[in-house]
Amino acid sequence: MPRLIVFDLDFTLWDCGGTWCDCLSPPFRQQHGQIVDRTGRHVRLYDDVDAILAYCDQHEITMGLASRTEQPRWASELLDMLDITHRFPFAEIYPSSKLRHFAALQKATGWDYASMLFFDDEMRNIREVGELSVTSIYVREGLSNELFHDSLQQFADANRDA
């Protein structure tokens, strides 16, 4: 198992009405059991994300976030509203390269990059972070159970001899 699983936010863990969270229009509010912005864009976790986070909790896998956003405060507010902030003891949420995010995660945890698994929807991030020896998984349309569990196997296979 990975020591740390790192997730991107936009188009990986959540959908913000088809855009990035920094393109939303606060204030955010609960409306009919949903989180919406001022214009009515609906913010939601992808269908399988709750089960994936629960799996990580059950297997005591530490989780982190790496999100390149121009509005870190908005992302943090949405994480709070979705009631998942507590699941991520490590969160690098600010406008910068994912390489900077991962350098901070590595420094904070003391763990080797090879012990990390990363999910992101942008191929440039997958390529960059993959060069660090992090098992990096491209997420096409939101994280799914199938992709998550296939990726755990891919991580295990890549680290079998380590």
pLDDT tens for each residue of the chain, 162 residues long: 999 999 999 999 999 888 898 888 899 999 888 999 999 999 999 999 999 999 999 999 999 999 999 999 999 999 999 999 999 999 999 998 999 999 999 999 999 999 999 999 999 999 999 999 999 999 998 999 999 999 999 999 888 765
Structural domain boundaries enclosing 150: 4-15+44-158
Instruction: Judge whether 139 lies within some domain.
Output: yes
Instruction: Judge whether 131 lies within some domain.
Output: yes
Provide the pLDDT for residue 133: 94
- CATH classification of the domain holding 127: 3.40.50.1000
Provide the pLDDT for residue 162: 55
Q: Hey, what are 143's tokens?
A: 């994280």
Q: Hey, what are 37's tokens?
A: 């912005």
Domain count for the chain, please give it.
Answer: 1
Instruction: Judge whether 48 lies within some domain.
Output: yes
Instruction: Judge whether 66 lies within some domain.
Output: yes
Instruction: Tell me the catalytic residues.
Output: 8, 10
Q: Could you tell me where the DSSP H helices lie in the chain?
A: 49-58, 72-81, 98-109, 123-130, 145-158
Instruction: Judge whether 23 lies within some domain.
Output: no
Instruction: Judge whether 22 lies within some domain.
Output: no
Instruction: Judge whether 74 lies within some domain.
Output: yes
